[in-house]
Amino acid sequence: MLKNQSVEENDSDIAKVKSQLVEVEQALVESEITATTTNIAVIGALAYYRLTSEFKYRGFLSWIKKNNIGNVEKFAY
């Protein structure tokens, strides 16, 4: 992120990124989808919504659970 200049190299911005990584990790634990899926698109979308919109994050998390998105492999057979 520093290399592509999406974040400045200062204590404030680096602390914000670290905080957001903790939030993403908590979201993945809360959703329990990392135990059932390796689909990077689902994980990425969950992380994106967690960082950008609490409302969309909660809605997406609900949608994942309601539709068993983490368990799609069992439906492929």
Q: What is the pLDDT of residues 17-66, one digit of tens each?
A: 888 888 878 877 777 766 666 677 887 888 888 878 889 988 988 888 78
pLDDT at 47: 80
pLDDT given for residue 70 in this prediction: 61
Three-state SS sequence of 6-63: CCCCCHHHHHHHHHHHHHHHHHHHHHCHHHCCCCHHHHHHHHHHHHHCHHHHHHHHHH
Asked if the model's pLDDT at residue 76 lies above 70, the reply is no
Predicted TM-score (pTM) of the model is 0.60
Q: Whose structure tokens read 């602390």? A: 15
- Amino acid 29: pLDDT: 79
> Could you tell me if 33 and 43 are in contact, meaning their C-beta atoms sit under 8 angstroms apart?
yes
pLDDT in the model for residue 55:
93
CA–CA separation, 11 and 59 (whole Å): 33
Angle between helices 40-52 and 54-66 (to 10 degrees): 150
